[in-house]
Amino acid sequence: MTTTVLVAHGSLALAEALSAVVASEPGLEAVATATDPAGALTDVGRIRPDAVLADLGEGDWVVAVIALTKAYPQIRVVGLAPAEAAATDRLLAAGVHLVDAASAGMGAVLAALHAGGGRRADEPGGSARAASGTQPTRSSALAPTDLQLLRLVAAGLDSESAARELGTDAGLVRRRLRRICTELRVESPIQAVAVALREGVLDLGSGP
């Protein structure tokens, strides 16, 4: 029984160092490292480790870690305190195992990772490595007018304002947004924006 661990830390050097500590521990296997909150979320989704050892030094990570516990309740999440007092409550409520490493030591961190149990080494996903996988682009089907509309959505315009901007009717705008969401297989327009941004077909920096 080996517990696979993904180590998430904002600094690559420290993520690797923590990985090395985890790897040196019998019964634990460091399968991947992630250095940004968004990357951690995608990597966990792809690799499905048994446990995640996460940095909680900054607010961005706190929210990512909470999102992670919601998305993958079966994964054991061990967080390195210190976190701000307000964040601590939320993290505990989300089921994160907080370890105050400064006082309890690294041994306590490793023990918390062990406590989750593990899966057999022959199960799939056990030794996958983090790699920047290329996803099939869904947004290539979008027309320029669709992208123009998504840009307005990203700017915060509702369908009425977007319709006024495009010189059309709010009902038509809503219909087009529903079609875009269906094509991109997402639930909301802002999620469509996220997909278009990620796949590089939408750019927020430039002018209209």
Residues contributing to the site for another protein (CB under 8 A): 9-12, 14, 17-18, 21, 24, 35-39, 41-42, 55, 57-60, 62-64, 67, 80, 82, 86-87, 90, 101-102, 105-107, 151-152, 154-157, 161, 164-165, 188, 190-191, 193-194, 197-198, 200, 204-208
Question: At its nearest, how many Å lie between another protein and the CB of residue 37?
Answer: 6
Query: Which two tokens mark 125?
Result: 């996903």
119, 23 Cβ separation under 8 angstroms:
no
Q: Which residue, 126 or 201, has its beta carbon nearer to another protein?
A: 201
Q: Which residues pair with 33 in a beta bridge?
A: 7
51, 96 Cβ separation under 8 angstroms:
no
First CA to last CA across the chain, in angstroms?
56
To the nearest 10°, report the CA torsion of 205, 10, 20, 102.
Answer: 180
Q: How many CB atoms lie within 10 A of CB 92?
A: 13
- E strands, 66-181, are 76-80, 97-99
Largest Cα–Cα separation, the chain? 65
45, 38 Cβ separation under 8 angstroms:
no
Give the position of tokens 């499905």. 48
Q: Which residue, 59 or 117, has its beta carbon nearer to another protein?
A: 59
Question: At its nearest, how many Å lie between another protein and the CB of residue 41?
Answer: 7
Q: Which residue, 24 or 145, has its beta carbon nearer to another protein?
A: 24
Q: Which residue, 37 or 118, has its beta carbon nearer to another protein?
A: 37
97, 77 Cβ separation under 8 angstroms:
yes
Q: Which residue, 101 or 147, has its beta carbon nearer to another protein?
A: 101
Question: At its nearest, how many Å lie between another protein and the CB of residue 63?
Answer: 6
Question: At its nearest, how many Å lie between another protein and the CB of residue 127?
Answer: 23
Question: At its nearest, how many Å lie between another protein and the CB of residue 197?
Answer: 5
Question: At its nearest, how many Å lie between another protein and the CB of residue 23?
Answer: 12
Q: Which residue, 147 or 197, has its beta carbon nearer to another protein?
A: 197
Query: Which two tokens mark 201?
Result: 């077909």
